[in-house]
Amino acid sequence: MRGLLVTMPSVVNEVKKIIDDYSSFSIVTELNDDVSGYDVIGIVGTDKFIIMNLHKLNSWEGPVLTVGFGLSFLNSVDITNLDKALSTIMSGNYDIEEILRLSVNAKGKKLPNAINEVAIFPARSAITLEYSLYVNNEYLWHDVADGLIISTPTGSTAYAMSAGGPLIHSRAQVFEIVPVNSTNLARVPVIVPSDSIITIRDLISRSRVEVIIDGSIRTYVGNEVKITSGKPLKLIRVGEVSSAIGRYEKKISLLANMDLPPSAKFILKILEYEGQLTQKEIIEKTMLPSRTVRNALSILIRKGLIQRQVIIRGNKEVIVYSLKSTGQ
């Protein structure tokens, strides 16, 4: 079996030590277009890094091992269990879970498949969006709202949930459509079969309307977006597998049992998604006061949840903060 591991630069040395015993695995920090000849591809990093590379693997139909830090909704294993996971893969003693993805067509252009959600919003905040919603060419409603989210079961624990959508079991063959701050109280989240054709037409706004794939890829949509089921992601699972609901419950329980102020929990989530950040970058992304951020970082370090490191960016030493690896 020939494998490729795409690794965040910050953990490349740690991963290199692990794969010394696995000569059939190669390691890179940046994914090339040509991945032919590999039997399995692994991605090691934060949720953001994993999603970014899954978008690059849009046409890849082989199994994918996702390796993250601690308990996450997307990663197959924690980085501390990578050695064991590779051994299991080499023996062939693993399962494949097919993760639903969304295929998006806007202005006749096919976009990378969404793992979590497709969000349709005006480019400028505080401006509403007018649209008509169709499922399998059947008219459902016309609405005025801040935006609209179409989510997979995996994404039901993310943006869609914060907008009022339900949690969906990871093996349910459905998608959810969630209006965001509709002006009509009758516009509630709708669950549709995964083979549905979801069409959003008659898009009107005082601002340019964008479609956003997994919070990272943005493009102008024109006046219509068509969303269907994409090719499923073949995610490698080793050991006990939890549903999206189960993982959400574990994560909420973990945070609830921590004596942490809300600001520290917020920063913990930002670091989980973004990876290494400087204090200035954390302030910019959270929009919290600098004093609040300093206090929260101090608490998180004291509790052993994050680490402070000095790294080289360009020709300059900078101090960054990142999650500490913990077993699942």
Q: Spot the catalytic one: 47, 78, 143, 214.
A: 47
| Lookup result for tokens 């969630």 | 178
With beta carbons less than 8 A apart as the criterion, state whether 152 and 235 touch: no
Label the pairing between strands 25-28 and 3-7. parallel
**What burial class does residue 294 get, using C-beta atoms within 10 Å of its C-beta: 0-12 exposed, 13-18 middle, 19+ buried?**
middle
| Residue 21 annotated as catalytic | no
CA distance 164 to 180: 8
| Lookup result for tokens 């970082």 | 297
Cα of first residue to Cα of last residue in the chain, in angstroms, is 26
CA distance 41 to 43: 7
Strand partners of residue 35 = none
Residues taking part in catalysis: 47
